[in-house]
A and B are shown apart, each in its own frame.
Chain A
């Protein structure tokens, strides 16, 4: 699997797109989706809610487990992916595309987000 170069990554396996008009898109990586197995339920943060970098903002349920969803940045949620709410398997089939989770108006970015190469290296270790 390859991690798109234009994205940045958290150690908790979320990806963050570059901002458009101050709004970035967040999802989980293919590595994380594969580790979870089939995602069957996604509890996403509410539109308008505040999220904080490194803190939980939702959860993803798979066949075998439930995992916390962490926000990679601090900001306000502007949109959630209703397609994923209705069909959580999108997280597995297209984690970097149609399986995105939410959009956030970023107010603060942590300094330790990873590049694609750094994130790939982290998972190889």
Chain B
């Protein structure tokens, strides 16, 4: 990314008035935490948390062939997504390498919204524009058209219900509908990145402060607190959700990342990466290189991205994300390890934490799954 001016969301002044510690994230000045990140994490797991995610990159795809374009450009079966539903998917290079993971919302028969990671939004936009050649469809950069506010946690449905007439009970996980929240027009989506029930509200930037304040007030009695990116990271890590730049990269295919299920070979038409991904699928079945696993510490030292995973004095893998888990009360990590050491319960696996080999238990992902 070019070192252009740092970008600020529509809620910037509000974050500062709340005393947020800010951090540079993909060129955006974003709240890292407001108080204790552990308290924010626990609030989302047990009550509710409010997030500014306006750095996420929205791209609108419209036109008679919008579905065909996305089926060609992405690895998922996008034409099969019903109007009002959403799908987790990926965009890959011709060689199968992951350019980004995405959520695609079908807003209307011929209108989709693609939500990319902030760090990859330009890459995704460029790829979609390039891949749109020959399709009767338009790709529109809507990054500045939306602010994104998420309310996540078990109390979030109750909080949101008090501010909207929309049929939230009828809104399933990975669905989205247009509505009005606190008098503000919003796309209300039941999606998130925390492992909890929750909603993501796409609104015009000029409505963001009003909506944030209404949600804050509505959530007062339920224990809703503002939450920063620090707890968002530990929440998604506990939920076993990958983060681009950590578990996902252009060096890996979806199959390498254990997410081969997002690749749909049976959809109509060709798509970018098909041939390479078919080879990757076969390789991951027959001779997987490394496997994404969970690691739970026996001690208290925290593994960090890039630390070597070791067994019998040999390096057998690498940590991709690590943090102290507030829910488990122990450090946890995701790591790519050699297949021979990837089975849950594999003995004698450790992480090299700045020179000392700390014992870790190999576990299946996720670390945390909410009770429904």
Q: Name A residues whose Cβ lies closer than 8 Å to a Cβ of B.
A: 34-35, 37-38, 40-41, 43, 61, 63-66, 89, 92
Contacts and interface: CB of A to CB of B under 8 A. Distances in A.
Main secondary structure of the interface of B (DSSP, over half): mixed
A63 B230 contact: yes
Interface residues of B, number: 17
B245 to A, nearest CB: 15
Closest 9 CB pairs of A and B: A40-B324, A41-B300, A38-B38, A61-B302, A63-B37, A38-B36, A37-B37, A38-B37, A63-B230
17 contacts: A34-B21, A35-B21, A37-B36, A37-B37, A38-B37, A40-B302, A40-B324, A41-B301, A41-B324, A43-B301, A61-B300, A61-B302, A61-B324, A64-B323, A66-B304, A66-B354, A89-B38
B300 A92 contact: no
Contacts of A92: 36
Nearest to B23: A64
Nearest to A35: B21
Contacts of B300: 40-41, 61
Interface of B: 21, 32-33, 36-38, 230, 233-234, 300-302, 304, 323-324, 331, 354
A99 to B, nearest CB: 14
A89 B324 CA distance: 13
A37 B302 contact: no
B301 A61 contact: yes
Given A34-B21, A37-B21, A64-B233, 13 more contacts: A37-B33, A37-B230, A38-B37, A38-B38, A38-B324, A40-B302, A41-B300, A43-B301, A63-B38, A63-B230, A64-B37, A64-B230, A64-B323
Contacts of A89: 38
A89 B35 CA distance: 13
A37 B37 CA distance: 7
A63 B323 CA distance: 6
B58 to A, nearest CB: 27
Nearest to B300: A41
A40 B299 CA distance: 12
